[in-house]
Amino acid sequence: MARGEHVVKVSKELCTMLLRDLENARRPVLEATKCSLDNSRYDFKRGYLTPGPKKVRTELNVSSVQKMSRAIFMLEILLRNIETGAVNTKRELYYISKGEIKHNPELKPLDFADQDESDSIIDFICEMMECYREDLNCYANDRGGQTYSQQLVVTETLPDGDKAVVDLSTLGTTPFQPKNRPQSLKLKAKKKIDFCLIVESEGTANTLVANGFCKRNNAILMGAQGVPSNAVRGWSRLIQEELRIPIYFFGDLDAYTMQNIYRTLKAGSASSLIRNSDFSAPEVRFLGVLPEDIKKYDLSDYPVKENDIQEVRALKKADDALKNDPFFKDKKNKEVSEILKWLLKNKRRCEQQALFTVNPRDPIMPEKIIVEKIKKGVYV
Amino acid sequence: MAKSITSSSTAEYFSKNLQQVGFSSQTKAILTTVKEAVDNSLDACEEEGILPEISVTIEKVGAGTLKNSDLIKVRVEDNGPGIGADDITRVYGEYLASSKFGRGRCSRGQQGIGISAATTWAQLTNATGVKVISKTKEMRLAISCVVEVDIKHNKGVMKNKETIKWDRSHGVAVEFLVDGRAQVGGEGGLQTYLNGTALVNPHLKLTYKLLDNEPVTIDRVSQTVPEIPDATAPHPHTMKLGEFIAHSHLFGRITIGEWLKKGFSRVTDGTLKELVAGGLKRNLLGISIDKAKDSDFRDVFTVIQKVPLMAPSTKSVLTIGEESLSKSIMRLGNVDFFSVVTRRPTICDFKPVVVEVAVARLQERSQEHSDSSVQVLRFANRVPLQFDKSGCAIVKAIESVNWKTYGLGQPKDSLPLGPYVIAVSLVSPFIKFKNASKETVDASDELVDELRLALIQAGQKLSRHIRAEARAIDLENKIRHIEQFGPILVGGVCRILGAPEARKKKATEGLMKLLGRESREAEKELKVAMIGKEELAAKQKKILGESGDEAQELPTEADENAEVVETKPTGKKAAKKVAKKAVGKKVSTSKKKSKQAEKSA
């Protein structure tokens, strides 16, 4: 539990500093990394977004004393969890804090009105200590990343030290659900694995498996389920690091997928700058749908609806990303930003399921196209 | 062959159309009866310069003849000049017999319909006329009689006339026995009417007893009878051709040129020159008006409409005044704070108009009314308007103001919320009502704009009170904040570190020292804010406390850059200075505060 010990150490340092300042009637100042796009740096060699020098300073004064008291109160609960090995979700922590306050009337002023308030305090603690909330034993539910493979074997180290071995080939069409604490997992390939395919739509990933994708290919197939969660990002990173196989992402051709889903998977996000190193897979390649695929396979695409607020907003954000997002601004990612530019210019989109139009009577046509693209290297 | 055409009297018309003049429902019938009697009393007193003392009694006598109605006795008594024996039948029994018709003065009554309609209502529902007791200064004994309307001939008929002793030198008492239902509370209730009337008539002493409720006496807060300005000569741009020609009959043998200058306002020698320049034959102006043909008048009228003239004079309107209004508003109940605005008379739609606004927060309303709309009191020529609120210019103007900037809640395009009373008084010799029962003022754009300006000024004054209050709450919160969270923070840190009690104590002291600096400053600011607010309140109280004609004024215009001058108030000027000082002080406090806020941010 090296991370846990580290967190305990940092917390104690923080409290010591706080107490010493107070004893001397000095105004304590807490610094946290600023997690926003304007403080994001991107280095192609590294492959993910890292924090810049900007810090958010919180000075203890009349206005911040409530936030500070709440942070210390929540930290106490989290440290206790680390000590006992208990884990919780944010919502559970909200109720645990409610319970603490209920049994100790003196704490009444700290009471959270809703979960948003307690969530923001947990985030504040993470930023202050530059740690993941998983380090504080606070986990999100495991969403997305359902994985199929005939070759992959996963070994999980349980909190009590026991080991659980999962051979994915024994699961049939049942997926393996990765945990969002990838540090406790070890991967092994029973047989050589050629590639890992991450499909944006969980449903399409299911279809591919049902139609025998994993039987015909020595591959790992994963469904991302929209914007990749920590579980998906950490799991992809683990696959990249431990198996050293090419990873491809296959999703819609639209502005939202490019900048929200693909960018986050490949380089992490601005709001999680401090943990992108473990939660991004920089080697992921964009397999499609590529603009050229539309012509080549005669895919049915359609124009972006001008009155669809969501789509119009995505295009506007794409324009903004080209100007301000260090990932898209980096020359080495030119191919990706070219796609964004194409989307902005043509205002058309094409969904991943469009592959099913190519030969409606052949259920494995999409698989054939995907494999062909991988073999021929048609990706960016 | 067509049926023969008959003509009917005015009285016949109104007796069949009483709903047009306020007798459209049983509750309104009672209210209108009271209203017509009280309005007449007030007008008569003002006419003679008497400080009015009016008493109103509403009593349920038995069951009415109409379905679901009561027989109600309405008695209104005044100390006015009294009505001479010959005039009594005309006043109470004849339609359109009025001393005020078309005079262009700001009196409450205008045409002479209302009180005769009340008599008609009594006659129709209870088969009796109105009982009148009247005594003028000249009479030794008072006259007591019953007046009925001879509907066929629009004439008053006097019955049971006798002379009686009356314990006063002059006055009138009227007693109606009518069918109806007496509604005391609510927007259209008797109480709202009576309290409203008291509000805009600070010189009125009013006593009333409504049904079984306790009798109420509202004392006067002003000892001066408002002087009703004389009507000014008509303005040519407000007339129609027929009126124009008819106006000439009032003058003898003078030339048209002389007549235009004498008989109209804003017509000068210069105007006559412009008329000629505008295409009028010069010799027309020299013709004597008794020789002039209708076509000549038409020519003059057409040209004069095209010539630009100064707007009519605003001398013919009267105001209640900010001082009287402030005193009067205190009679509404337990007023937390208030603001009053009297606008300068102005011209709207070519008619002189003056708008006055009073806004007050009432303590008794604060509990249950914090989320409901404010109470709106509307007045036209100092008569409360109680019905058909939504179409009224006054309500439209209130809704158009953004009250949120002054600290009041307000749903979009609606009346603001809160325990406030917004009273708006509109005075003009020519108010354009939407109907004959004078319930709503027609909402012309110009009028709504003028009303809006007055409301905005009142809102700005009000916001000073509300803001001071908000600041006080804010500062109090700050102090509470420190006391609450300080110990919790230190306690938490010490538990995490396992620090001994001694360190905890020292840290708590340190924290308090740290935040105490802020809290002490907060306390200081709170004190300043409270002093500022109290000063202002004291000032207003002082104005309210001082009776008579002592010249005292509330701050009318906020002078943000006013210098602080220490002087004892000795008169009008000094009072203004002090008021300015209060404003200046407040501004400086808020500036200080905003600076502080910036710093801490």
**Beta-strand pair B346-348/B375-380:** unpaired
d(CA B98, CA B109): 9
Segment B438-446 mean pLDDT: 83
Segment B440-450 mean pLDDT: 87
d(CA B73, CA B58): 6
d(CA B395, CA B401): 10
**B515 and chain A in contact, CB less than 8 A:** yes
Q: Chain A residue closest to B475 (CA)? A: A62
Output the pLDDT for position B103.
60
Q: Is the peptide bond before B303 cis (omega within 30 degrees of 0)?
A: no
**A69 and chain B in contact, CB less than 8 A:** yes
SS (H, E, C) B445-470: HHHHHHHHHHHHHHHHHHHHHHHHHH
**B593 and chain A in contact, CB less than 8 A:** no
Output the pLDDT for position B366.
65
Q: Chain B residue closest to A80 (CA)? A: B496
Q: Exposed, middle or buried by CB within 10 Å (0-12, 13-18, 19+), for A277?
A: middle
CA atoms within 13 A on the CB side of B467: 18
Output the pLDDT for position B565.
28
Class of domain A2-136: mainly alpha
Q: Do the chains contact at A66 and B481, CB–CB below 8 Å?
A: yes
Tokens describing residue B130: 């109105």
Output the pLDDT for position A184.
84
Output the pLDDT for position A226.
86
Output the pLDDT for position A333.
92
Of B481, B496, B519, the CB nearest to A76: B496
Output the pLDDT for position A326.
92
Q: What pLDDT, in 10s, does the model give residues B14-66?
A: 777 777 777 888 898 899 999 989 988 998 898 888 999 999 999 998 888 88
In chain A, CATH 3.40.1360.10 sits at: 147-376
Tokens describing residue B166: 């009356």
Output the pLDDT for position A198.
96
Output the pLDDT for position B544.
65
- Do the beta carbons of residue B41 and residue B382 sit within 8 Å? no
Architecture (CATH level 2) of domain A147-376: 3-Layer(aba) Sandwich (3.40)
Q: Which CATH number is B236-306's, of 1.20.58, 1.10.287, 1.10.10, 1.10.8?
A: 1.10.8
Low-confidence ranges of chain A (pLDDT < 70): 1-3
Q: Which of B315, B306, B285, B312 is nearest to B297 (CA)?
A: B285
Q: What is the mean pLDDT of chain B?
A: 80
Output the pLDDT for position A72.
93
Q: Chain A residue closest to B511 (CA)? A: A22
Segment B139-157 mean pLDDT: 88
pLDDT category at B331 given cuts 50, 70, 90 is: confident
| Fold type of domain B335-457 | Ribosomal Protein S5; domain 2 (3.30.230)
End-to-end CA distance of chain B: 92
Residues 6+ apart with CB under 8 A from A375: none
d(CA B239, CA B361): 43
Q: Chain A residue closest to B516 (CA)? A: A62
d(CA A288, CA B78): 94
A21 C-beta neighbours (distance < 10 Å), count: 18
Query: Phi/psi class of residue B418: alpha, beta or left (left: φ > 0; alpha: ψ in -120 to 50)?
Result: left
Phi, psi of B291 (to 5 degrees): -95, -15
In chain A, CATH 1.10.10 sits at: 2-136
Q: What pLDDT, in 10s, does the model give residues B491-550?
A: 999 999 999 999 999 998 888 888 777 766 666 766 766 676 677 667 666 666 654 333
- The helix (H) or strand (E) run that includes residue B245 is helix B241-248
Query: Phi/psi class of residue A233: alpha, beta or left (left: φ > 0; alpha: ψ in -120 to 50)?
Result: alpha
Residues of chain A found within 8 Å of residue B489, distances taken between Cβ atoms: 65, 68-69, 72
Output the pLDDT for position B13.
77
- Do the beta carbons of residue B510 and residue B487 sit within 8 Å? no
pLDDT category at B2 given cuts 50, 70, 90 is: low
Q: Is B588 a residue whose pLDDT tops 60?
A: no
Segment B121-129 mean pLDDT: 85
Output the pLDDT for position A170.
93
Output the pLDDT for position B483.
79
- The helix (H) or strand (E) run that includes residue B53 is strand B53-63
pLDDT category at B566 given cuts 50, 70, 90 is: very low
- Do the beta carbons of residue A30 and residue A23 sit within 8 Å? no
| Fold type of domain B10-218 | Heat Shock Protein 90 (3.30.565)
d(CA B187, CA B183): 10
Which of A18, A59, A62 should one mutate to test binding to chain B, selecting the residue with the greatest count of B CBs within 10 A? A62
What is the model's pTM?
Answer: 0.58
d(CA B37, CA B462): 36
Tokens describing residue B177: 């026995």
- Do the beta carbons of residue B34 and residue B139 sit within 8 Å? no
Output the pLDDT for position B102.
57
- ipTM metric: 0.76
